[in-house]
Amino acid sequence: MITDEFKLDNQLCFRLYTASRLLSQAYHPMLSEHGLTYPQYLVLLVLWEKDEQPVNDIAKRLYLETNTVTPLLQRMEKGGLLTRRKGEKDARQMIVSLTKKGKSLQKKLADVPRTVGDAVICDSVTPENALDLFRMLDDIILKLSSKV
C-alpha cells in the first residue's frame, strides 16, 4: 500500500523538475535558431551582466561545478562566442570574455525573456505576483545550496 508522501502528485521535486524541463523546452526554438543550448544561454546571461569573468565566478553564479562549466565554455569558444585566457595575476585562473559575436547575440535574443515570461503567465502566476514566486524559489535555492 502506497502512502500519500510517496504519491508522485505530492512531490515538490517532481513539480520543480517538470517545470524546469518544460521551461527549458520553451527556450529551445528561440535559442536553437542561433545555435545555442539553454546552458549556453545561461553563460551568456552571466557574461552580458559582467564581461571578463573567471571560470570559477561563472560556475558559482550558475550553481555549477567548474568541471561542468569548462566543457560548456570550450564548446562556446569553438563556436566563436567567447574567448578564454589565463589570468594576469594568477595563471591558474581562466578569464572568460565575450567575442563580438557573443556580444551581438544580446540584441538578437532581446525578445527571449519577455516571450518566455509571457508563456509562464497563467491564472496563478501573474505579473503582479511573479516577484513573490522568484523570492520563494530563491529561498529554496539558498537553503538547498547551503547544504551542498
Q: Tens digit of pLDDT for each residue in 2-14?
A: 789 999 999 999 9
Q: Tens digit of pLDDT for each residue in 37-56?
A: 999 999 999 999 999 999 99
Question: Domains of the chain: which residue ranges?
Answer: 35-101
Q: What is the pLDDT of residue 3?
A: 87
- Run of H or E including 14: helix 12-32
Q: What is the pLDDT of residue 88?
A: 85
Q: What is the pLDDT of residue 52?
A: 97
CATH match of 35-101 with 1.10.10.10:
yes
Q: Which residues in the chain come in under a pLDDT of 50?
A: none
What b/e readout covers 95-133, taking b as 16+ CB neighbours within 10 angstroms? bbebeeebbebeeebeebeeeeeeeeeeeeeeeeeeeee
Q: What is the pLDDT of residue 148?
A: 65
